[in-house]
Structure 1
Amino acid sequence: MPFHISHLKFRGFKSFKSAEATFPEGFVAIAGPNGAGKSNVTDAIRFIFGETSLKALRAKKTAELINLNCSSAEIVMTIEGDRRIEIRRIIREDGSTKYELDGRHVTRDQALEALRPYGLEVGAHNIIGQGQVQNLVERNPKDRRQIIDAVAGISEFEEKKKDAMSELGRVENKISEAKVVLAERGAFLAELEKEKDAALTYIEAKQTM
């Protein structure tokens, strides 16, 4: 599904006390000197995609995600696709987080479900960090294929195919069970038919005596 991240707003996240950025469609490059916060932008995107691993967010504890001059942090992302959605993730000092979708409080699962049609989710390889390219090259062909399929969105259809085949298998099993029952019922009905014919023959013979 075609889309692009059109806007990011930061408040109290890592080095950003307050900042925002607007992105046009197409290729975008973020440049700046060391320590300017380039990596914190990708950390913010990981964060709003539902990342829960502090290691992936380059932090040792939750408090490190919050700017020293703030008591909480939040990221707001606007996505333009088949429709416009705004998703917000807030983290408090106690480490608890909450999500908002288009201004409404939602659960984490509901927020991530809204991102899933765009292929935006934790583990979907939307963000390739430092060292990950080398890691990809060194993986075996099967693992590389799985990653490429995930990035291309093929794995989603493979999962749906797997679910459909599983459901088809269950249906076929039920059909087989139904055929067995029908065969048993058919044999029983055939036996009853024989008994009926025998009874009719007996009645006719008795009437002619």
Structure 2
Amino acid sequence: MLKLEKLELRGFKSFCDHTELDFTETITAIVGPNGCGKSNLADSITWVLGEQSARLLRGSRMEDVIFQGTHQRPPVGVAEVRLTLVARQDFSTNNGHRSDDGTGGDDPAVDVPSDGLQLTVAAGERLIIGRRLYRSGESEYLLNGRRVRLRDIQDLFAGTGLGPGHYAIIGQGHVEEILTARPYERRSVIEDAAGITKFRLRQRTIELRLQAARQNLTRIDDVIAELERQVRSLKRQAAKARRFRRFKEELRGWLARFFVAESRRIATSLKRLDERLAAARHEHAELMRTIDALEVEYREAIDASRRGEAELNEARDRLSAIELDAERARSEQSGYIEHMK
């Protein structure tokens, strides 16, 4: 159970400046003349607890809750309300649902994991609920100074009469609306008063999770089908790899045998070539010795030829001298003969 201790407003409707109302003392009613803001206080409590209908806040759009300004005061850019509550007894929220007996908010037979608000409050501790709305349309919810979701705030007060469609705060004309409402409209109020709303919220949460689980299962089936297709492809590739490995081993064996035979053939050929090379080298040595001998003979023949040519030239010179002497002798002889005649 929670008790209202303090209400703080800033920029909300007619409350331009920071306004603080202390409810620590016993207060029965807030009275004042028309237009002084009594209904705005009730609207602020409704609004900070997550009300999303601008009509229920007596406006046409949600930005109407921000102070619009007067002739003397300019408009502000943000509306903020903070509600301070004191716990009268220990309670906790488990999986996003409120429990006043410390046992958690889920049925013991149902264990549904959740990312909802996890909160444990001891008796005497304070909860500060806050909400801000900017003219840009951005809105944020605060719980003890920490940003939370709207759903966390609604789950916290589910079944207390302060949740969506609450009955704890009855504004102007609200009683008449309830009396003239259709049966299914009054049903939400009666269910909230009977504490059924939190179970419906829990049911809706579980249904959403089941739907998400079904979608996940569908995606998992798709993933499994894709993986099976890939597995079949991998099996074919594995079979090809095994055949390739077998053929590679066979090829390695054939290559080993081929290289052994080729090595032996090359060794035999190399041996024959070595023998032929040795014979060729021996023959080459013999030829070189023969060439050396022939060169010696050639040089001797050249020397002999040169000596023969020198002797021949000397003989020719002597012959020429003899022929010249013979010619002179013949000339002298002819001269003697003619002289004798």
Choose between structure 1 and 2 for higher RCO, CA contacts under 8 A separated by at least 6 residues: 1
Structure 1 counterpart of 2:7, one-letter code = L
Task: Say how many residue pairs are matched.
Answer: 162
Following the alignment from structure 2 to structure 1, what is the Cα–Cα distance between the partners of residues 23 and 162?
17
Following the alignment from structure 2 to structure 1, what is the Cα–Cα distance between the partners of residues 186 and 10?
37
* Structure-2 residue corresponding to 1:48: 48
Larger radius of gyration: 2
**Match among 103, 111, 131 for residue 145 of structure 2:** 103
* Structure-2 residue corresponding to 1:90: 132
Percent identity over paired residues: 34
How do 1:1-209 residues align onto structure 2 when only pairs under 5 Å count?
A: 2-17=1-16, 18-24=18-24, 28-67=28-67, 68=69, 69-81=75-87, 82=89, 83=121, 84-116=126-158, 118-139=160-181, 144=186, 147-153=189-195, 155-156=196-197, 159=200
Following the alignment from structure 1 to structure 2, what is the Cα–Cα distance between the partners of residues 100 and 88?
5
Does structure 2 conserve the Cα–Cα contact (< 8 Å) formed by 1:63 and 1:95?
yes
* Structure-2 residue corresponding to 1:193: none
Q: 1:33 to 1:109 in 2, by over 3 A?
A: same
Following the alignment from structure 1 to structure 2, what is the Cα–Cα distance between the partners of residues 117 and 134?
23
Following the alignment from structure 1 to structure 2, what is the Cα–Cα distance between the partners of residues 77 and 36?
20
Give the Å deviation of 1:117.
Answer: 6.0
Give the Å deviation of 1:120.
Answer: 2.1
Give the Å deviation of 1:98.
Answer: 0.3
Following the alignment from structure 2 to structure 1, what is the Cα–Cα distance between the partners of residues 129 and 19?
16
* Structure-1 residue corresponding to 2:333: none
Following the alignment from structure 2 to structure 1, what is the Cα–Cα distance between the partners of residues 182 and 66?
38
Give the Å deviation of 1:105.
Answer: 1.4
| CA-atom RMSD in angstroms | 2.8
CA deviations on 1:42-98 (whole Å, 9 max, x unpaired) are 111111111111111111233321112321110000111234211110000112100
CA deviations on 1:136-186 (whole Å, 9 max, x unpaired) are 334567765652342242x247648989xx9xxxxxxxxxxxxxxxxxxxx
Q: TM-score, normalised by structure 2?
A: 0.42
Q: TM-score, normalised by structure 1?
A: 0.66
Gaps of 5+ in 2: 70-74, 90-120, 208-341
Following the alignment from structure 2 to structure 1, what is the Cα–Cα distance between the partners of residues 154 and 182?
30
Give the Å deviation of 1:27.
Answer: 5.8
Following the alignment from structure 1 to structure 2, what is the Cα–Cα distance between the partners of residues 146 and 93?
32
Does structure 2 conserve the Cα–Cα contact (< 8 Å) formed by 1:12 and 1:74?
yes
Task: Identify which range, 106-115 or 78-87, moves more after superposition.
Answer: 106-115
Gaps of 5+ in 1: 167-209
Q: 1:136 to 1:75 in 2, by over 3 A?
A: same
Task: Identify which range, 33-42 or 128-137, moves more after superposition.
Answer: 128-137
Task: Identify which range, 122-131 or 24-33, moves more after superposition.
Answer: 24-33
Does structure 1 conserve the Cα–Cα contact (< 8 Å) formed by 2:82 and 2:129?
yes
Following the alignment from structure 2 to structure 1, what is the Cα–Cα distance between the partners of residues 37 and 60?
18
